[in-house]
Every structure is written in structure tokens, then in C-alpha cells.
Structure 1
Amino acid sequence: MQIIHKIDDFLFTLFPKLRGGGGGNSLLISELENYYTFGPFTPKVSITEDWVTITIDTSTILLQENDYRKTVALCEKGNYQEAKPILQNLIENNPTNSEFHRIMGQILSDEGHQDEAINCLIDALRWDSKNNWALLMMGNIFAKFKNDVPTAMRYYDQALVVNPNDNITISNIGANLMQQGKFEEAKKYFWQAIKINNDYPNTHFALGMIAEIENDLQSAFYSTVQAIKLNKNKDVLYQNSVKQAFEIANKIIVATNGKKIFREYRHKLEFEGSTEIDIIKDSEILTAAKIEFAENHDRLKHILRFKPNYLAVEHLIMHELVHLDFVIQARKVELNQLFTSTQQHKTAFIKILQPSITKLQKMKISEDAISNFCNGMFNGLNLQAYNTPIDLFIEDFLYNEFSELRPYQFVSLYTLIQEGLKAVTDKSVIDFSPTMVISKSKIFNLVNALQFKALFGIDFIKDFNATPAELRKSEEFYIEFLEYKDNRKPGEEFELVLHWAEDLQIDQYFQLVNENQYRKGSDIDSFMTNFEEDPFGIEEKDPFKEREMEKFQKAQDEIGLNMAVVMFMVDALQYFQDMPADTIKKIAFEIAMQGTQGFDPNQKNYIIGSIANKRFSGYHILAYYYVSWMLAIPEMVSQLHLPFEEEYKSALTMFKSK
């Protein structure tokens, strides 16, 4: 088959790269060869005066194309023994085809016959010196199997001459050098690939690996997060990048003194706010970290408490300090707002809980337990309404102003996202919660997940099983935050608190009051009764539980029926249902052995070896602990010293009613 074109303006219209005449006949031939090449079959291009002729060997293509495709498919499956005879026949019938030789070279190399592979690749390059894959393979063989880097570099460099802007080829060269432990040479190619295309995740991932090997952990974390953020698919590279990010972050947390991160910032806030800040260890607080504002406790100092054994707690300490920073800024312009709620607000909220209350009453749940349930729903939604917008600003500030904190922030926020996800998708929770409350809570959690995706690339959005309306609303909120974040003025975060609450029609459950006006007309004791307990410690007091958290045993006596434990016990009863007693006993003993050092109700990520693919919070594992012993060794339950008799009775009632 022949195709003939006149060399004129119309040809340049068909092939715009030829316009201008630069490069002469060589450019014309190259462009037409590239266009009319079919798989491994390259046409013959000739020029006679003002005409160019493209000769395509269609008969050969028709005869050999099926065998070529079959050979490629067999090679992809690693079936070389079946592929080689077919490929050898193709070479004998068409020895001028460079790609046939290249594939044979690849097969031989994979089989361990490197010298024979080199001979085939040389043949491939003799017929087509621009065969990029043949050049790349030659470099790989000399670097990997011959330990001859200078020769390998000659082939690599020639591959770059052929495709100087092919970042993938350049990255592949770097990857092969990295596998040989030649990190400096590898980095040269990776950085060249980055300059060509900064959006290729594989290159960033490789740079992260090298930086980790070289113990440059901050650079390793940065590059690995870039690989996550640039990967649009949850493929193997994505999974490996996430794993690598956690490994590096945990190395940084273990190897560095996180206190150095917040000490200087604390001194800055002490100066600006004219109030000292004590940062102290406290294993008995309800949350991992919280701040007690001096004004709210009639003290001369702010006190920031933290649990010393909480992973990445330095991030939460910094979170609390940034909140104080925002308060100081807002106070300077007299715009700081106090988040308050009254019995009237709660009464309005309780009305929407009536169906759930009725359901629990029919299940013979005690009035105290129902009251705790209602308080938890009310407090939880209000906390989200207040915290979510402000926390977005805080986390954005931390990410941009304290890059060394990012590994801590990554681990900590990941844990919080997981907790939020469980709270709005766990069947044992949502079965007893009003749909409206779950929906509003899910929107707030989705906003946090959107920010986490933007900061660190990990996408949990689909895991929330949100409705289109919920997802749309969360995206609207996040876009509104983005409009504020770069030019936020002191106190503007409170505008989002109100805007979002109004949009979700939950603004009738709380009130924002200007701090100056409030303090002029109220005493501190009545003021304290209007605050809710904040998981981040943003505002100190829960209006219904003002006393400090004491040790676990005493706390259980004070709060009565623990609904969280009840729900986790229902989960445990479902898990152990129909399980042989011996198996339950094995799990019971395993939990007991693990618990010899004690379980922290506020700790996360406990693992039970006998229960695969499941992580437990403190209360969750305590519930499994109690239930497993009640089912397998009931006569010994009293030895556990867990005051969960009433919780277990309630859980049995709920379980049997399903």
C-alpha cells in the first residue's frame, strides 16, 4: 500500500508540526514515519522532488499482526516458552523489525540470559537506533546485572536523546539505579523527571524512599505525601504510598522531640496574651489534650493538659495553642465569641429525639441511660457545629506554618477521621440515633475529610456512604471555608459557625455571645455552666458534667449507665453469636493477657490477634473483654473489676430485641 502526498501548504495543514520548514526532509520523514507506524511495523518514507511517498507493507502486517499480538499477550502472562517460537518465526520472516528483536531481548533477560539478551537488543538498535525501550533495557541490564554503570549511563543518556521529555522513561532509569543502591545517580534522574512533569506520583514515591534510606525523614514524608496527593486511583502505588507515609511519620514521632515544636510558639502566645501557659501531663483527662482558659477558671494561667502516652499528641497540643492564638486575636478587636447553650436550647433539641426516646423506653432502658443518650446527642452535635469551622482554620494554619509538625498532624487527623467515620456509619450507633442528627453529623465529618484529602491526599469521602445532598452540602461548606482561609480576619471563623448552623437548621440549639458583653453582665460560675466538653479542649466545661474526670473506676460510678459501652457490647454479642464456647474463651483469655497492663478508655487502635481486620477504642475493647468473659467464663467476671453489670443487661435487651 502506498500513500502519496504533495509537499505543499495542504500537507502542512494535515501535519502542523511541519509548518515553517524547519528540520527539512529529516523532520518530514520522521513525522510521517511516526504517524503511519502501526504497532511494530514502520513504513518506508521516500521523497522525490515535491512528492513524498509512504510505503506500508500491509501484507506483512496482515500476516504478522496476529502473531505479534499473541506474543505480547503471552509475554504479559510470563508464558515465555510458548511465546519464543512464535517470536522467532516473526524474526526469521521479518528480521528488519526492531521491535521483534527487542521483545526477544526482554524475554531472554527475564529468563536470566543477559548476554543473549544484549545481542538481541543490539540487533534491535541496529535496525532502529531510536528504539527507546531497547535503549532503556540495555541500560537496565548493564546497571543491574553487569554492575557497569558507565556503560548503562551511555544507553540511558541515549534514551533521553531520543525522548528528552519522557518523564516516565527518566523515572524508570532512576528506579533501576535506585534498586542497585546507586542513590545519587538515581536522584539525578528523578529530579530531572520532576522538572518535566511534577504530577507523576511514581517519581515522588521513589524520592521518598531514597530520602527515608538516607534518614532525611522530613523530606521523605513530604515526597511520599506528594505521591499520595497526585495519585488519582487507589492502586498498588497508592496503597504503598499510604503505608510508607505512616511508617515515616511514626519514625519521625519516635525519633524527634515533639516538645520543641510547641515551646517557642507557647512563649509567643504568653507574650501576646499577657498570660502564662502551663503545659502539663494528665492521664486522667477525657481527651488526649485540652486547654483550660484562665478566665474560665478564675486562674492567673492557662493550663494545657495532655495525655503523655497518646500517639502524636503534640499535634493536639499545638491545636489547642492555635485556638488560644485565635482567641487572643479576636479579643484584641473585641470580637471573641463564647459558645453557650441553655436548657431552652436543649428542650428544643429533645423534641427531635422523641422517636428514639420512645424506642428506648419500649426496650426498658432506664431513664438515666436515656437521659445520657439525649445529652450525648445534644452535646455532640453542638460540639461539631462549633468545632468544625474553627478546626478547619486551625489545621490549615498548622499545615502551612509548622511544616515539621505535618507527620504528627497526619497521624492524629487520620485517627480523628476514622473516629468520625465510625460515628456516622456504625450500624449499632445509627440504629438508635435520629436520621437528622446522623445526617448533620455526617456533613460535618465530610468537611473534615475533604480537608484531610486536600492536605494529605487520602480520600475517605466514599466511605461515608453520604447521600448526594449530604455530599453537596459538605462541598459547599468546604468551598466557603476556602474563600475565607487565605484572608481570614480575627473572629471571622465565627461567621462560618453561624452560617453552617443556619444552613443545617441547627442554630436554634446554641448561641454565640460576644465575650466582652457577656463578662460584663455575668459571673464566671454561671458562664461555666454554658460550655460543652470539647474533644479538642476548645471550651472547657460540659454544662451537665462540670467535675474533672477522675480515675476510671470512680468515673463509671459517677456517670451511671455508659451508653457507649452498651452499644459496643451489642456489637460484641453480634460478633460472638453462634461462635463455639471454646473459641470465645480463647479470645477472652487473649484480651485478658493483653489487658494485664491496663486498657485506657480514651486510647485508640487496640488490636486483638484472634479478631482479624478490626481495631478497637478503649471502651470498645473493654466491652468485648466483659462480654467474652460473661459468655465463656461467667463465674470469673467479678475478677475483672469492671462495673458494667447494668450495661450488659441493657445490651442483652437491645440484642434480643433485634
Structure 2
Amino acid sequence: MDIIYNIKDIVGFEAKNPTELKEKLVEYFTIDGFKAEVIVDGDWVIVRVDEQEIKEAEKRFEGITSLCDKGKFNDAKTAIKEFLKSYPRYSDAYRVLAQMYMQDGLIEDAINTNIEALRCNPRNGWALLLMGNLFGKYKNDITTAENYYNKILEYCPDNAIACNNIAAVMLERNEYDKAIPIFKHVLDVNEKYGNAYYGLALAYYNQKDFKNAFEYALAGSLNADRQIENPNVLDELHKLMVVAAKNLVSSTNYINVMLGIKDSIELESKSKIKIEEDNNLEVSAKLQYGKVYNRNYNLVKYNPKMPYMEHLVIHELMHLDMALEASKRGSNMIVYSNNENKLAFRNKYASWISNIVNKFGHSRAMSVVDKMHEGLMVQIMNCPLDLFVEKRMYDKYPIVKAAQLLSLMHQETLNQESIAKGQQGIFPKSIVTASKIMNIVSSIHLEKLFGLRFYQNYKPTKAEFETAKDLYEEYLAYHDYKPGEEYELVEYFAETLGMQDFFKLKNESEFVKDTNQEKESENYIKEVLLGDADSSDGNSFDGLTDEQKKKQDTFYEQNKDGADPMQTMMMSMYMVGALDYFDGMTKDQIKRIAFDIAMLGMKGISPEIKSGYKVDSIPGKDFGGYEMLAYYYVSWALAIPEQLGALGLPFTKAWETAKELWRRKKS
């Protein structure tokens, strides 16, 4: 094979004349003892090598190295000696033979044989590395060893494996300052070389520089490939990353970091933020968004006893930061649920609810149902939003990454335990599947941020994993989202998982307006209906006009409490129906309905009307007069019993009968 160069293109070979140039080119192009023929002809240089002979030798040598790979070292040693008779200038053959002598403890034989390897090819990086190791490890001649290592860096700077091995020797000798720049050089050559990341991280860790140790272990976890010579390097990087993170967290004052982030958000948003301890908080941290709570400040509560509360406080601050940005654009949304959503949930899972009612009793079962609905709604909201939150924290505040990693790993463990419990057959399969898919999405995000893969632990079906991938890919499409657009992803998650009927989204300004109107109505009811208002406007204590009062007085006169047994029993049965409806609701939920009915009651409720009364908080229900009065009475009896007498409803005996009937029904 002939290789032709223009003499002007040949650089790096300083020569005084063509003869000297020719000698240097011959040395350079001589490969494993196969001497090249170099012809200098005017402005042209011709390099001629016997390619066929080289290929034959390489093929034969590969057979010898395969014997080594199979552990047949005696056969390999015999074969190499025979090989060298045919190819006495084959450098790598001497180097492999020297390595065998070293493994047999024949150090002098190894050195002498390796000298032959270097005579054949002074630039053989592997032979230089072996010689450095022989003098450094077995002769304790560090100076000579380093001379050979330096030649590798000079002759073979692009040989990542050889250079990394030099750094590894330095690392083993605790010469971290020498090892670190060589490891960094290796990464310049090959940014995917995992051993170099591991060596760097370990060197910094041994120097107690946990910040750099964590950062290089993280970089390796994200960028490194698995390597043939060290297939476990990624696993080792992951372990070192976690250990470094723990040390970094223990030596970092995250309270100051947390407060610094709070101050930064306050300065940028011009919105006040308070952070308070709450030892009774059941979660690590919780955000109370000021506008929803009708406050001029936002509050983040945290429980100092809970694990990883610093990261989770910052997590809530990121939620707040996003909400404030969206609010500034008029695009912030509030996620909430009402009785309509609650009924949708109950209707969808009616069969399951019936089974657990029979198994656990009505009250306990309905409590489980409501908690299940609330938990699912929170997960549908938080899973997509938390993807944005954790990425924002990761990008804006690198100092938090170590705590973030440990906290997310802890949450991953809890998620896996939750799904394992859910798969025991107690809960509806579609809910468990939806929750499982969302947990897989979170797990994919953890891998994206830190290189740790856990989603296989969920043992997803192909369909489950494909759905999770689709949801995550949809999130990735929002990489340059505008504030407020993140709620589109919430809707996409809900629709994909078939959970869109279980919650509502409302623009922040509308939500606050509606909430304020509800509070005004509630205050009006308290003041007027319960006798706290000034009656000088002509209204009686119960909020009715004089004409309405006369009609109601007539009704009360004609319907003395318990005077008509048939009427009392009818009212009792309606009350039992109301108790059925309210069963499992919280006191606040019933109170909301009680106030809504009271607003209707202020306009007058006629017992004679057979249908047409509707209450917004009891969707899909059309009430007649008597049934409406029954719900009116029962809602106040359950939620606001201390004010029940102020209603003046003549149904005390019906209520006592209803409670007894209810008790028997549930026993």
C-alpha cells in the first residue's frame, strides 16, 4: 500500500535535509516491527507498507489474545513464542508476553521482555504503561515509572484508557493532585469515559471536597457509557454520587439556602413570603398561596421533624415562584374539586364503593373513598407540575442538587411501597394503574436529572410504560413554556388517564372572586339569619321580609313539632335520605351546603311545592319543599348544631326519629 503526501503538508518532523526527514518518517511509519519504505521525490513523499503481511500478523495475533481472554495462558505463552519467531519485531507480542511474566511474578523477565516491545515500537502506549507499572509497583522506582507515564502523555495523548490507567496509579498512591489533571485530560479526549469520572469523583472525595466529588459523579452518571473493561462503572458512580451527596448535605446549611431563595423570589416578584415551623404538619412542607387565602403574604409551613424538609420547602417555593409568574401574566390557575367532582368519582367507582361499604361499614368506607379521591386529585395536579418544579430547582439552584437527589430517592421508595400496597386488590385497578403510571413518569424524571433508573422496579406492562413515556415526552415539549401553560399539561395528564372529571381548573382571578362572593354570602347568612345584623332595614331576625315572615309563621302555626305523626314520619324519612347523602363528608363540606340552602331559605321554602328547588353544591338534585327543608335542617344539625335553634324549623321530633332510624340502618 502506498501513501502519498506533499512534503509541505508534513508537520512535526524537524529535519535539516531529506535524508534526516526520511529516517524520521521511517521510524514514525514503522508499525509493530513492520518497517515502512519511505521515498522522498522532490515535493512528494511516498510511504510504502506491506499491508498484506501486517493483516496476516494481526489475524494470527488475535488468535493468541483470544487464548488469553479464555484464561489459557500457558497455551498463549507457547503461541506467542512461536509467533515471535515469525515476527520478531512485533511490539505487542513482547508486551503481552511481558504481562504474562508479571502475572507469574517474574518481574525481571517481564521488564526485559517489555524492553524488547519498546525497542520494536518506542511509542507503544500499552508497553509504556506496563513498564511504568512494573517500575512503580514492583520496583518502587517512582521516578522511572513517571518517566514512562509521561511518555504516554507525550506519544499517546488520545489513548483514554492508557492515560486513565496512569491517573489510577496516582490515585492509588494518594497523589490526588497529580491524578486529577490526568483524569480531566482523559475526559477531554473522551467525555463518555466512565472510569475517568469515577476516578475524579473518588480523588475529590478522598480530599473531602464533597462538592466536586458529587458534581463529577453526577456528570458521570449522566454522560458515561458502560465500558467493556469496567461494565460496573456506572453502578459505582451512582453509589459514589449518593455517598458524596450525603456528605455534602451534612456540611451545607440548607436553612440559609432556603431563606436566600425565599428572599430572591420576594425581590423578583415583590410578593411577601413567610416561612413558619409547624411541628404538627403531617407532611414535610406545605404552601398556602396568599391570594387563595385572602392574605397579603404567602405562607410556607414546614415540619422540622420530617425528612428532607429543606428540599421540600424549596420545592414549595418553586411552586410559588411559578404561580407568581403565571399570576403576573393573568394565567395562573387554581386546581380544586367540588361536590360535582366528588359525585363523579363516587359514580365511576360505585361498584367498588358498595363492596368496601359491605366490608368496612358505611362511615369508614366513605372516609376511605373521600381520601382516595383527594389523594388522586392531588397526584394528578402535582405529578405534572412537579416535573417543572424539580427542573426549575435543578437549573436555578445547583447548590440544592445533593439534597434534591436524596429527597427524590426517598420519595421514589415511598412511591414504590405505595404501588405495592395498591396492587393487593383493595383499590380499583384503574386508580392503581393511573397512580403507577404517574410514579413511573416521576421516576423517568429522576433518571433524566440524576442518571438513576428505578422505573423498572414498578414492573410496568408495555402499555403502562408507553403511556408514561408519552406523558413525559409531552412534558419535554414544554421546555420553553410560558408561565401558566404548565396547567395544560395537568389537563393532558388527567385526560390521558381518564381522570378529568375528578377536579376543576379555574383562573386565579375568577377563583378568588367566586371565593370572596361565597364568603360574603356566608357572612350575610351568619349576620342576618343568626340575628347578628341590624334589623332597622325592615327585615326580621331571620332575613325574611314581613310578608315572608307572615307566611312562615302560618306554616309553623299549622305544623307544630310532632303534632302530625304522618308528617313527622315523612320528614324523618327525608332526613334519613339527607344523612345518607352527607355520610362521609367533612364538616366543612356539609357547612358549605348548609349555607347554600340557607341562602335559598331566605327567599322562602314552600312545603307545598313538589319540585324545582336546586342547590349548586348538590348538583343533579331536584328537591321538593319538604325534602329541601329536611336537607336544610340536617345540614345545620350536623355542621352548625349550636345555631340550629336560630332556624326556627319545627322538626325536632322528626330529627330524633331520623337519628334512631339511621342508627338502626347502620348497625
> Take 2:587 and 2:221, find their aligned partners in 1: how far apart are those partners?
43
> Take 1:216 and 1:279, find their aligned partners in 2: how far apart are those partners?
31
Pick from 165, 170, 174 the counterpart of residue 163 of structure 2.
170
> Take 1:546 and 1:400, find their aligned partners in 2: how far apart are those partners?
43
What amino acid does structure 2 have at the position aligned with 1:347?
L
> Take 2:55 and 2:297, find their aligned partners in 1: how far apart are those partners?
89
**Does the 8 Å CA contact 1:43/1:55 hold for their aligned counterparts?**
no
Partner of 1:484: helix, strand, or coil? coil
**Cα–Cα, structure 1 residues 102 and 233, in superposed 2: closer, same or farther, change >3 Å?**
closer
**Cα–Cα, structure 1 residues 47 and 325, in superposed 2: closer, same or farther, change >3 Å?**
closer
The CA deviation at 1:195 is 1.6
What amino acid does structure 2 have at the position aligned with 1:98?
S
**Does the 8 Å CA contact 2:423/2:432 hold for their aligned counterparts?**
no
The answer for the alignment partner of 1:603 in structure 2 is: none
What amino acid does structure 1 have at the position aligned with 2:247?
K
Residue 122 of structure 2 is aligned to residue 126 of structure 1:
no
**Alpha-carbon displacement from aligned partner over 1:553-600 (angstroms, at most 9, x marks no partner):** xxxxxxxxxxxxxxxxxxxxxxxxxxxxxxxxxxxxxxxxxxxxxxxx
What amino acid does structure 2 have at the position aligned with 1:260?
N
> Take 2:333 and 2:422, find their aligned partners in 1: how far apart are those partners?
36
The answer for the alignment partner of 1:484 in structure 2 is: 478
The CA deviation at 1:392 is 1.3
The answer for the alignment partner of 1:656 in structure 2 is: none
Pick from 367, 371, 376 the counterpart of residue 366 of structure 2.
371
The CA deviation at 1:420 is 2.4
Residue 286 of structure 2 is aligned to residue 293 of structure 1:
no
**Cα–Cα, structure 1 residues 430 and 334, in superposed 2: closer, same or farther, change >3 Å?**
farther
The CA deviation at 1:90 is 5.2
**Cα–Cα, structure 1 residues 379 and 233, in superposed 2: closer, same or farther, change >3 Å?**
farther
RMSD: 3.7
Pick from 389, 392, 397 the counterpart of residue 384 of structure 2.
389
The CA deviation at 1:414 is 1.4
The CA deviation at 1:181 is 1.1
The answer for the alignment partner of 2:461 in structure 1 is: 467
**Cα–Cα, structure 1 residues 457 and 30, in superposed 2: closer, same or farther, change >3 Å?**
farther
> Take 1:170 and 1:189, find their aligned partners in 2: how far apart are those partners?
7
Residue 369 of structure 2 is aligned to residue 348 of structure 1:
no
The answer for the alignment partner of 2:259 in structure 1 is: 263
**Which protein is bigger by CA-based radius of gyration?**
2
Residue 506 of structure 2 is aligned to residue 513 of structure 1:
yes
> Take 1:428 and 1:334, find their aligned partners in 2: how far apart are those partners?
39
**Alpha-carbon displacement from aligned partner over 1:27-54 (angstroms, at most 9, x marks no partner):** 99799976xxxxxx86565468989462
Pick from 449, 460, 466 the counterpart of residue 455 of structure 1.
449
> Take 2:234 and 2:58, find their aligned partners in 1: how far apart are those partners?
41
> Take 1:301 and 1:119, find their aligned partners in 2: how far apart are those partners?
79
The CA deviation at 1:430 is 5.1
Q: Tell me the matched-pair count.
A: 509
> Take 1:290 and 1:420, find their aligned partners in 2: how far apart are those partners?
19
Where in structure 1 are there 5+ consecutive unaligned residues? 35-40, 530-542, 548-658
> Take 2:446 and 2:265, find their aligned partners in 1: how far apart are those partners?
27
> Take 2:27 and 2:446, find their aligned partners in 1: how far apart are those partners?
48
The CA deviation at 1:120 is 1.9
> What TM-score does the superposition give when structure 2 sets the normalisation length?
0.67
> Take 1:130 and 1:394, find their aligned partners in 2: how far apart are those partners?
53
Partner of 1:522: helix, strand, or coil? helix
Residue 112 of structure 2 is aligned to residue 116 of structure 1:
no
**Cα–Cα, structure 1 residues 227 and 328, in superposed 2: closer, same or farther, change >3 Å?**
same
**Alpha-carbon displacement from aligned partner over 1:100-142 (angstroms, at most 9, x marks no partner):** 3212322333344434322221121112223221111112233
What amino acid does structure 2 have at the position aligned with 1:195?
D
Residue 148 of structure 2 is aligned to residue 152 of structure 1:
no
The answer for the alignment partner of 2:175 in structure 1 is: 182
What amino acid does structure 2 have at the position aligned with 1:412?
S
**Does the 8 Å CA contact 1:281/1:306 hold for their aligned counterparts?**
yes
**Does the 8 Å CA contact 1:288/1:316 hold for their aligned counterparts?**
yes
**Does the 8 Å CA contact 1:339/1:512 hold for their aligned counterparts?**
yes
> What TM-score does the superposition give when structure 1 sets the normalisation length?
0.68
The answer for the alignment partner of 1:218 in structure 2 is: 211
**Alpha-carbon displacement from aligned partner over 1:279-321 (angstroms, at most 9, x marks no partner):** 3333332212112334445556543222324343211110111
What amino acid does structure 2 have at the position aligned with 1:391?
D
Residue 201 of structure 2 is aligned to residue 208 of structure 1:
yes
Partner of 2:477: helix, strand, or coil? helix
Partner of 1:278: helix, strand, or coil? strand
The CA deviation at 1:326 is 1.7
What amino acid does structure 1 have at the position aligned with 2:383?
T
What amino acid does structure 2 have at the position aligned with 1:114?
I
**Does the 8 Å CA contact 2:61/2:93 hold for their aligned counterparts?**
no
The answer for the alignment partner of 2:223 in structure 1 is: 230
> Take 2:55 and 2:313, find their aligned partners in 1: how far apart are those partners?
74
**Cα–Cα, structure 1 residues 326 and 69, in superposed 2: closer, same or farther, change >3 Å?**
closer
Pick from 305, 315, 319 the counterpart of residue 319 of structure 1.
315
> Take 2:126 and 2:446, find their aligned partners in 1: how far apart are those partners?
39
Partner of 1:418: helix, strand, or coil? helix
Partner of 1:310: helix, strand, or coil? coil
Pick from 440, 450, 466 the counterpart of residue 446 of structure 1.
440
What amino acid does structure 2 have at the position aligned with 1:201?
G
**Alpha-carbon displacement from aligned partner over 1:204-230 (angstroms, at most 9, x marks no partner):** 111111111222211111100111112
Partner of 1:256: helix, strand, or coil? coil
> Take 2:499 and 2:196, find their aligned partners in 1: how far apart are those partners?
47
Q: Structure 2 matches for 1:188-199, cutoff 5 A?
A: 188-199=181-192
The answer for the alignment partner of 2:131 in structure 1 is: 138
Partner of 2:360: helix, strand, or coil? coil
The CA deviation at 1:60 is 8.9
**Alpha-carbon displacement from aligned partner over 1:500-537 (angstroms, at most 9, x marks no partner):** 3233332221111112122223249879x9xxxxxxxx
Q: Structure 2 matches for 1:69-88, cutoff 5 A?
A: 69=65, 71-73=67-69, 77=71, 84=77, 87=80
What amino acid does structure 2 have at the position aligned with 1:186?
A
Residue 393 of structure 2 is aligned to residue 398 of structure 1:
yes
The range that moved more, 239-248 or 224-233, is: 224-233
**Does the 8 Å CA contact 1:447/1:475 hold for their aligned counterparts?**
yes
**Does the 8 Å CA contact 2:33/2:121 hold for their aligned counterparts?**
no
Pick from 224, 228, 245 the counterpart of residue 241 of structure 2.
245
The range that moved more, 272-281 or 207-216, is: 272-281
The answer for the alignment partner of 2:335 in structure 1 is: 339
What amino acid does structure 2 have at the position aligned with 1:342?
N
